[in-house]
Amino acid sequence: MQKESMNSNITGGFEHTLEIDGTFVQLSDNKQAALQTTELKLDNLAEPVHFIGIGGIGMSALARLLLREGKAVSGSDKQAGEITNELQSLGAKIFIGHVAENVANAGSLVISTAIVNENPELAAARAKNLPVFHRSQMLAALGSNSKMVAVTGTHGKTTTTGMVSQVLIDGGLDPSVVVGGIFERIGSNARYGTGGYFVAEADESDGTHAKLPSHLAVITNIEPDHLENYPGGMAQIEDAMLEFAAHCDNKVIVCIDDAGCKKLLKRISKPTITYGRADLAPEADYRYESLPGFGMKVYKGKEFLGELALKVPGEHNKQNALAAIVSGMELGIPFDIAADYIPSLTRKADEELTLLVQGL
């Protein structure tokens, strides 16, 4: 039985919010009207599933996985591009431009927080009483039958998610993946796996990460950002991170190099695993000793695990790599396997930087 709810009141500190099955989504000022929503289950999902803004990096990843699930998918975007062309080749029906006629045959809609109330497709869907889902609901539904590894943080979550994905792939866990970037060795922003694991980048920008269920939760850092969506400032950001951690059924992996994470650590109700740079966080469960250039030595407690060198520069990438190693090891993947392919993992956007740093 489908469940409907409507809410546009001030809730949880967001100036305008929409409640979608218990998740409060921040809305822009011109989107104050409540949207009709229904409980999302893939088994009874009305098709075709139409994505408004299907060419976006986050929406396209969800569309790819739905196509692999055998669902009929359509979508619209302002202009054609590589992503929309790829989705079309995979079987999606693509519309260029946003007009009401695009949803004439749609069974349900998926939107992001960026989609305004005046969007003609959204208005038409609401007039037809079609079920409308937020992208965070679709992400949760796609991962509902898997052990979710969810990665969030103000910075570094895309790179970390890519690294975690590769560790699980190389470790034989065959995960599904949704990530906000195109990684060379993964080949896409989405991957369909059958191993019972799901690696997801959890978007903290609008607070929708807070309700995402997970088996492992990774928090890379916590800083003031997207304050237009967090009128309560850092206190509200911290509360959202605590809720994200509370929806983890196993362990929360936290970078305690970061002042925001370290401050929050004692308030996390679930078991935690900490990581960080040895000189900044000597008390961390997993630590790395930074070597000149791209190198790093890795320790677990007093045990020396090994050494590796990345292809991309920066202490932040060493932190990201350690988060991925920790995630893999906590899922039973030995260090040698977890660390083996991380040095070869780069995003397409990193390729020119990598060549420049290496002098090639």
Active site residues: 157-158, 201
Question: What does the buried/exposed string (b/e) look like for 122-136 if buried means 16 or more CB atoms within 10 Å of the residue's CB?
Answer: bebbbeeebbbbbbb
The DSSP line for 258-325 is SHHHHHHGGG--S-EEEEEETTT-TT-SEEEEEPSTTEEEEEETTEEEEEEE-SS-SHHHHHHHHHHH
Q: Which alpha helices (H) appear in the chain, and where do they start and end?
A: 57-68, 82-89, 120-127, 135-142, 157-170, 234-246, 259-264, 315-330, 335-340, 351-358
Q: Supply the DSSP symbol for 142.
A: H
The string of DSSP letters for 77-107 reads ESS--HHHHHHHHTT-EEEES--GGGGTT-S
